[in-house]
C-alpha cells in the first residue's frame, strides 16, 4: 500500500492518470496532509508542492504520466515511475495490490557483455576460478563440486553476507515503490562457474519471503532455474 502523488505534462495527462488509479480503487484527496491514508492519490504539479510534501515527512510514490514537463526538480525529474497511458492501469493495480517483487539473480560472462536488464552488477572475478582446476573445468556452477570450491573461499562468503545485508531492506523499499522486477547480475569471465554459484546461493538466501519471489537466470548456460 502507498500514498501516490501524480504529476503530468498537462491537465489531460493528469486526468488520465487519475482515471486509471480511481478505476483501480484508489481514493482521491485534495492535498497531502499528515495522516493521509495509504491507497490515496494526490495531484502535485510543481517542485514547490513536492518540497512541501517532503517537509511533512510523508512517504510516497511519485508517478509522472506524459513527456518531460521541463520543470526543474518537478514531477518528471523526481518520479519513481514515468509511465505511458498503456501502463497506467497495470501500475495502479500493482501499487494497490502490493504484488510481489520479482528478484532475479542472474549469472553472466563479462566476455559476452553485461546484461542490459541488470540493475545491480556484482563482479565475481576476484574469486579463484574453477576453470583452472582440470576436473572442474567441464562442469558448471550448478554442480556441487564447483559450488563447494567457490563457497569455501572466505571472500565469497564475505561478498554474499554483505550483499544480502544490503539487499534485504532495499528490496522492501523497491516493492513499496511498486517495482515489479529487480535484477542482481553476478558476472565472471565466462559466466559458467563463479557467477552461477553466487547467483544460486543469493537466490537461496533470499527465497521464502512473502514480499518477493526469486528467480535464477544463467545466461551462458542452456537452462534456467527457479529458486
Residue 210: its pLDDT value, please?
73
Which residue stretches of the chain have pLDDT < 50?
A: 223-227
> What pLDDT is recorded for position 11?
92
pLDDT on residue 99: 65
Predicted confidence at residue 71, as pLDDT, reads 87
pLDDT score recorded for residue 12:
94
Return all residues near 146 (Cβ < 8 A) that are at least 6 apart.
Answer: 130, 136, 139, 140, 193, 196, 197
Q: Which three cell numbers stand for residue 9?
A: 505534462
Sign for the pseudo-dihedral over CA of 200, 202, 208, 209:
negative
Where in the chain are the domains? 3-97, 101-226
Is the sign of the CA dihedral 4, 6, 20, 85 positive or negative?
negative
pLDDT at 225: 39
Cα 5 to Cα 45: distance, rounded to the nearest angstrom = 9
Q: Which residue has the cell 503530468?
A: 8
pTM: 0.66
Class of domain 3-97: alpha beta
Determine the Cα–Cα distance for residues 102 and 120; give it in Å rounded to an integer: 14
What pLDDT sits at residue 204?
93
Q: What is the pLDDT of residue 35?
A: 65
The pLDDT value recorded for residue 98 is 64
Amino acid at each position: 500500500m502507498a500514498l501516490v502523488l501524480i504529476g503530468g505534462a498537462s491537465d489531460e495527462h493528469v486526468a488520465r492518470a487519475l482515471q486509471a488509479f480511481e478505476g483501480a480503487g484508489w481514493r482521491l484527496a485534495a492535498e497531502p496532509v499528515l495522516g493521509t491514508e495509504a491507497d490515496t492519490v494526490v495531484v502535485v504539479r510543481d517542485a514547490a508542492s513536492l518540497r512541501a510534501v517532503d517537509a511533512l515527512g510523508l512517504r510516497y510514490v511519485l508517478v509522472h504520466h506524459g513527456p518531460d514537463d521541463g520543470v526543474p526538480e518537478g514531477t518528471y525529474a523526481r518520479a519513481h515511475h514515468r509511465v505511458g497511458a498503456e501502463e497506467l492501469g497495470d501500475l495502479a493495480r500493482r501499487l494497490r495490490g502490493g504484488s510481489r517483487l520479482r528478484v532475479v539473480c542472474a549469472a553472466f560472462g563479462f566476455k559476452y557483455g553485461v546484461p542490459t536488464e541488470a540493475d545491480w552488477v556484482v563482479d565475481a572475478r576476484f574469486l579463484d576460478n574453477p576453470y583452472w582446476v582440470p576436473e572442474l573445468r567441464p562442469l558448471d556452477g550448478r554442480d556441487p563440486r564447483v559450488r563447494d570450491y567457490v563457497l569455501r573461499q572466505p571472500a565469497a562468503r564475505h561478498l554474499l553476507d554483505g550483499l544480502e545485508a544490503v539487499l534485504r531492506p532495499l528490496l522492501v523499499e523497491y516493492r513499496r515503490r511498486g517495482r515489479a522486477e529487480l535484477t542482481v547480475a553476478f558476472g565472471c569471465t565466462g559466466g559458467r562457474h563463479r557467477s552461477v554459484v553466487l547467483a544460486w546461493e543469493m537466490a537461496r538466501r533470499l527465497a521464502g519471503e512473502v514480499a518477493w519471489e526469486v528467480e535464477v537466470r544463467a545466461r551462458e548456460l542452456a537452462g534456467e532455474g527457479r529458486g
